[in-house]
Amino acid sequence: MSAGLVRQALRRHRWAFLGPVVTQCVAAAVVATMVTTGRSVTAAPLTVAQRHAVDDAEVATATGIFALVGGYMAAIIVGVTMASTIAQQSRDIALLRAVGATPGRVRRSVALQAVLVALPGAVSGFLASLLLGPLWTGAMVDRGILPDAVRYRPQLWVLALVVGIAAGTSLVGGLVAAVRPSRVRPAVALSETGTRRRVGAVRIALGLGLVVGGAALAVPIARLDADSAASTSVFVMLALCLGIGLLGPVILRTVSRLARAPMSLLGGSGQVAVDNLGAASRALSGALVPLVLAIAFATVQIALHTTPPHVTGVPEPAAGAWLDYSGTAVYCAFAAVAALNTLVTVGVGRRRELAVTRLAGATGGRVLAIVFCEAVLVTATALVLAAGVAGTVLAPMLHTSLHTWLPYLPPRYLAEAAVGALALVAAGTVGPAAALIRRPAISSVDPVG
């Protein structure tokens, strides 16, 4: 029965597995690149002075941390993306539970799905590292972080390492994602597939508690030394973002009400987009956490390097800033995968909704315009929330160290963040919609179509 569920899931919901596959691809590329870089530095013919310079730049520490982050984030993001994937199979799992499948059998099938899709992702990531690794090493050589004698030397055993890490993290992530669907009673699961659950008071209270607690924690953290404050601020951002995620449905419904008047200026497309945002607020809220976390984390890291020179006029070491930006890019890559997977999963699940809109008279262009308006609203919401999270973390830190409350960010960075966020959200919403409207509308409405 488990093997049958796995085969059926891989055939019927193949697009839903894109998130776990890409997650493991990114993780494998990061781990393989960092492990191989560390080994390449160790094997390089360096002088004593060059070896000390490499140690002072903390290259080994940075590559080790990035590799650990890759494995750690893989387990978390696979759990998140597999939860969205399993949500698409809720009716199938409910039917299996109704005919006698045990919770353990369901958990094993979900874990097997996660492991199977991890293998091609890990191999693809290792192959990508063969291209990314030399670029990464060459960039550090060009910036004087590594001596010219260091060359990126791929090793085959690293492939076995990343495959093992992918299998292990996918197993953990799959088992976590399988907890709820394996325990729910069949009758309840079948009813949940056709009803919309309300946001409970406990969820709202927990979300408010995390937001208030994270904001309160930002003040004492600012009194720590710079390195400790920067590392501890991550936990503040996580608390704030998790709170936002729990409050996401309420936030998006509020945005849909506030945006009704300005979006009406766009005509019918804007009005329908506002209605859709409110109706799909619970599903879309899953994308808010990774979006807000990625934008807020990048904002904090960049501001910590751009604000001091702007206030004091003293430039910071370029090498240290570049390594920090590289780590930020790793975090943002994982967050982008999680957000994109959620958006694509939600978009693919709107097949019948989009078909009904077309049968009611909307052209394909009008449908895409509606979805793009929704993407703009989600992006604007994420940017505002991320600005709030970043400001909450930055303001006390900057006031303690520089006696200023306002961070400095070059306008170019702000524009790139807005465009990048909109491009990501549009790719996860407009992209699936464009693919879905290529099918005849009547075949998408047909229950067996």
Asked whether residue 153 falls in the same domain as residue 203, the answer is no
Asked whether residue 77 falls in the same domain as residue 148, the answer is yes
Asked whether residue 176 falls in the same domain as residue 292, the answer is no
| CB-based burial label for 176 (10 Å; 0-12, 13-18, 19+) | buried
DSSP string, 227-287: HHHHHHHHHHHHHHHHHHHHHHHHHHHHHHHHTHHHHGGGTHHHHHHHHHHHHTHHHHHHH
DSSP code of 199? P
The total number of structural domains in the chain stands at 2
pLDDT computed for residue 352 by the predictor: 79
pLDDT computed for residue 381 by the predictor: 94
Among 40, 41, 69, 43, CA closest to 57: 41
Residue 90 contacts by C-beta under 8 Å, 6 or more apart in sequence?
Answer: 181, 189, 192, 193
pLDDT computed for residue 385 by the predictor: 94
Residue 45 belongs to what domain range? Answer: 1-195
Asked whether residue 189 falls in the same domain as residue 236, the answer is no
Task: Give the separation between CA 146 and CA 167, rounded to whole angstroms.
Answer: 33
What amino acid occupies position 11? R
pLDDT (tens, 9 = 90+) of the chain, 449 residues, equals 556 667 766 666 666 677 788 888 988 999 999 999 988 888 888 888 888 888 877 778 888 888 887 877 777 777 777 776 776 676 677 777 777 777 777 777 777 888 888 889 999 999 999 999 999 888 888 888 888 888 899 989 999 999 998 888 888 877 777 777 777 666 655 555 555 556 678 888 888 998 998 888 887 876 777 666 766 777 788 788 888 888 888 999 999 999 988 888 877 788 888 888 888 888 788 788 888 888 998 898 899 889 999 988 888 777 767 888 888 888 888 888 888 888 887 887 777 788 878 887 778 888 888 899 999 999 999 999 999 999 998 888 888 888 888 899 999 988 998 999 999 999 989 988 888 888 776 655 554 44
Asked whether residue 239 falls in the same domain as residue 189, the answer is no
Asked whether residue 167 falls in the same domain as residue 220, the answer is no
Among 26, 106, 131, CA closest to 70: 26
pLDDT computed for residue 289 by the predictor: 81
pLDDT computed for residue 32 by the predictor: 92
Task: Give the separation between CA 199 and CA 213, rounded to whole angstroms.
Answer: 21
pLDDT computed for residue 184 by the predictor: 66
Cα angle: 285, vertex 431, 169; to 5 degrees: 60
Which is it for the CA torsion 102, 105, 106, 107, positive or negative? positive
Asked whether residue 151 falls in the same domain as residue 267, the answer is no
Asked whether residue 209 falls in the same domain as residue 140, the answer is no
